[in-house]
Amino acid sequence: MSPENAPDPAPARRPQRPRWAVLGERAIEALIRLSGVSAILFVAAIFFFVLKEAAPVLVREDFSLGQFLFSTEWYPTSANNVRYGTLALTVGTLSVTALAMALAVPFGLGAAIYLSEFCAPRVRETLKVVIELLSAIPSVVWGFVGLTVMSKLIVTLTGAPVGVNVLNGGIILALMSVPVIVSIGEDALKAVPDSYREAGLALGATRWQLVYRVLLPAARNGLLAAVLLGVGRAVGETMAVLMATGHAVHIPQGILDSVRTLTANIAAELGEAPAGSDHYRVLFLTGTLLFLITFAVNLTADFVVRGIRRK
């Protein structure tokens, strides 16, 4: 055994890390932990600051929360009879979202099924890139499309007097939400183990039967989560609906009626409401309401997803 090969005897003193390195590491780890919990801080801060601006009007004697939530009369700038009822706006949000989901969910799930089960790998890669690009389009551009292209199209095809309405907003929102539904839906389908597919094929099922009878039920939770996240996106959308749904604050009678959503309303009126005024504070209150709605939707989606993970 030559000298270079002889293992060193256990040293009496092992090398030590310099003190500054140890302290530096502790500092970085503290920073990491702080950044980690910052998400909680930010969410709490958002809720706090929005509520803070709204709070003064909430505690006033003559302000009724019930009226705020359930009255359809929104007249914030009336000279002698100011009313803040958001129901029409809420219905506006719901109607546009519902229409958007009615369009986006079947197409989105269909595309997810196509990508996951039927499509060749090359085509899949291309389509996934397209979907990613689709989801990157800014909402103001979508709104612009709604205002110009879609509006003209609707007027030409349906003879409606005005092209910015529930239909317009619904289609635009559908196009915006589809990428979310497709990508999460595809993930959900991919998560179904191949053994299910193999078992089905061994029993002689066609791919369609496989999808319908085996995969959709198995991926149910993930697909539901995909839809919920799509809903969350649609409800929270601001600029696109601001430009595409029109200006009318009323409960729509049909899809060719103009409406206004909760989000768009804030954007439209915030600029004109003097800081600190009641109108301004009520708009912040609307913002708090929106925060709570999307919070609830996201929480539900997460619970649904957790349901799969526990299996």
192 binds another protein (CB under 8 A): no
Q: Whose Cβ is closer to another protein: residue 46's or residue 82's?
A: 46
Residues 234-263 touching another protein, rule: CB under 8 A, are 235-239, 243, 263
CA distance linking residue 108 with residue 232, whole number of Å: 15
75 binds another protein (CB under 8 A): no
For residue 165, give the DSSP letter.
Answer: S
Q: Whose Cβ is closer to another protein: residue 79's or residue 275's?
A: 275
CA distance linking residue 274 with residue 276, whole number of Å: 6
Among 127, 191, 251, 308, binds another protein (CB under 8 A): 127
Cβ-contact 250, 91 below 8 angstroms: no
Residues 146-185 touching another protein, rule: CB under 8 A, are 147-149, 175, 178-179, 182
CA distances from residue 144 to 86, 138, 139, 182 in whole angstroms, order as listed: 26, 10, 8, 24
Tell me the closest approach of the beta carbon of residue 81 to another protein, in angstroms. Answer: 26
CA distance linking residue 167 with residue 96, whole number of Å: 7
Tell me the closest approach of the beta carbon of residue 157 to another protein, in angstroms. Answer: 15
Q: Which among 69-77, 78-86, 189-197, 231-239 is the span making contact with another protein, rule CB under 8 A?
A: 231-239
Q: Whose Cβ is closer to another protein: residue 82's or residue 129's?
A: 129
Tell me the closest approach of the beta carbon of residue 180 to another protein, in angstroms. Answer: 11
Tell me the closest approach of the beta carbon of residue 137 to another protein, in angstroms. Answer: 7
Among 201, 216, 267, 308, binds another protein (CB under 8 A): 267
Tokens of 214: 């085996």
Cβ-contact 244, 169 below 8 angstroms: yes
CA distance linking residue 203 with residue 292, whole number of Å: 48
Tell me the closest approach of the beta carbon of residue 257 to another protein, in angstroms. Answer: 20
187 binds another protein (CB under 8 A): no
Q: How many residues bind another protein (CB under 8 A)?
A: 100
Q: Whose Cβ is closer to another protein: residue 218's or residue 282's?
A: 282
**CB neighbours of residue 99 within 10 Å:** 20
Tell me the closest approach of the beta carbon of residue 65 to another protein, in angstroms. Answer: 19
Give 171-233 as a 3 state SS string: HHHHHHHHHHHHHHHHHHHHCCCHHHHHHHHHCCCCHHHHHHHHHHHHCHHHHHHHHHHHHHH
110 binds another protein (CB under 8 A): yes
Q: Whose Cβ is closer to another protein: residue 138's or residue 254's?
A: 138
94 closest CA partner among 298, 260, 238 = 260
Residues 18-57 touching another protein, rule: CB under 8 A, are 18, 21, 25, 28-29, 31-40, 42-43, 45-46, 49-50, 52-53
89 closest CA partner among 240, 239, 247, 229 = 247
Residues 131-150 touching another protein, rule: CB under 8 A, are 131-134, 136-141, 143-145, 147-149
Cβ-contact 215, 197 below 8 angstroms: yes
Among 4, 61, 62, 194, binds another protein (CB under 8 A): 4
Handedness of CA 50, 52, 57, 59 (dihedral sign): positive
Tell me the closest approach of the beta carbon of residue 233 to another protein, in angstroms. Answer: 8
